Structure 1
């Protein structure tokens, strides 16, 4: 189980963060994210969340370029990116697979992403996040992105990984 200090993170969620719990696929704008949410729900069954091993990588093929698989660190101070989709790597200008947010650089955006992941972990629930997309050249204010954040659990009691996907809202990319 994560230490008690994990639960102190919840009040630190940035007020400007547009991050809401997802209880229905209808809350998601992008059809790709709606389908990924439905797959996640079907794999969870009666459990709060599926485990990573419940989801075959072949089933994720339609979303692979847009997927992030993240390991949550025990002391909730960081996350490690296990998988970063090719589309995401192209958009940000690098592939940070295997790195932690602190290794990449502790920017305000990195802190916000960390908060979003741990919000889903603390609440043990899927979340939707929307906002300005940050790419290799900085913020692309004309591009809004929608991110789906899905908790995964090996033991059914705590979230130890996050499966996430991100798509632009105002383009077909």
Structure 2
């Protein structure tokens, strides 16, 4: 499901290290909209924040992280580790893929693939677009702070 996003990202015009995205191509992202999130890295150096948190992600976690800081959006164990991937993708200018395991209360586990795509914008800020594909859906019966995230595999892509 996430693989078609790589050619889309690679086809964006370049502005130095990062592709430049003006936002006009949002229609191209339509199949993934509920599974997308966006982290904004202001050029002023202020902490990165989520500016978009898709409906499928909100349904899974029970929390909309839009407007929250990238590193302090939740107290879930492992969240800081997964947040660092956004920083890595932005700094390297390369897509970042990872396989993440979510341990839920009661022993349930769900895994997801995550693709992070860095780009710059005409407003001077950088952003990282994230797409998440869950392996399966689980009933929503836990508090978001009770789940634990672990990166099982990850790679910077060319």
TM-score, normalization by structure 1: 0.65
More strand by share: 2
From 110, 129, 132, the counterpart of 1:143: 110
Alignment RMSD (CA, Å): 3.1
Instruction: Give the drift of 1:77.
Output: 7.7
Please list every run of 5 or more consecutive structure 2 residues that lacks an aligned counterpart in the other structure. Answer: 139-158
Go from structure 1 to structure 2 and tell me whether the alpha carbon gap of 1:38 and 1:139 turns closer, same or farther (over 3 Å shift).
farther
3-state DSSP of counterpart to 2:10: helix
Correspondence for 2:12? 43
CA deviations 1:82-118 (Å, max 9, x no partner) are: 1111000100011121121355335442211221001
Alpha-carbon distance between aligned partners in 1 of 2:42 and 2:110, rounded to the nearest angstrom:
30
Rounded Cα–Cα distance in structure 2 between residues aligned with 1:147 and 1:127: 8
Which residue pairs with 2:31 in the alignment?
A: 62
Q: Report if the CA contact (8 A) 2:40-2:125 is conserved.
A: no
Give 4+ residue runs of structure 1 displaced > 2 Å after superposition: 44-52, 73-79, 101-110, 137-142, 170-173
Range with bigger deviation, 82-91 or 111-120: 111-120
Corresponding position of 2:63: 94
Work out whether residues 42 and 125 of structure 2, in 8 Å CA contact, stay in contact via their aligned partners in 1.
no
Judged with a 3 Å threshold, the aligned counterparts in structure 2 of structure 1 residues 91 and 42 are, in CA distance, closer, same or farther, namely same
> Who is 2:130 aligned against?
164
TM-score after normalising by structure 2 = 0.71
For the 8 Å contact 2:43–2:125, the answer to whether it is kept is no
Deviates further, 118-127 or 38-47? 38-47
Segments of structure 1 that go 5 or more residues without pairing to the other structure are: 1-31
Number of equivalent positions: 137
Post-superposition offset of 1:148: 0.2
Question: For residues 39 and 139 of structure 1, what CA distance do their matches in structure 2 show?
Answer: 39
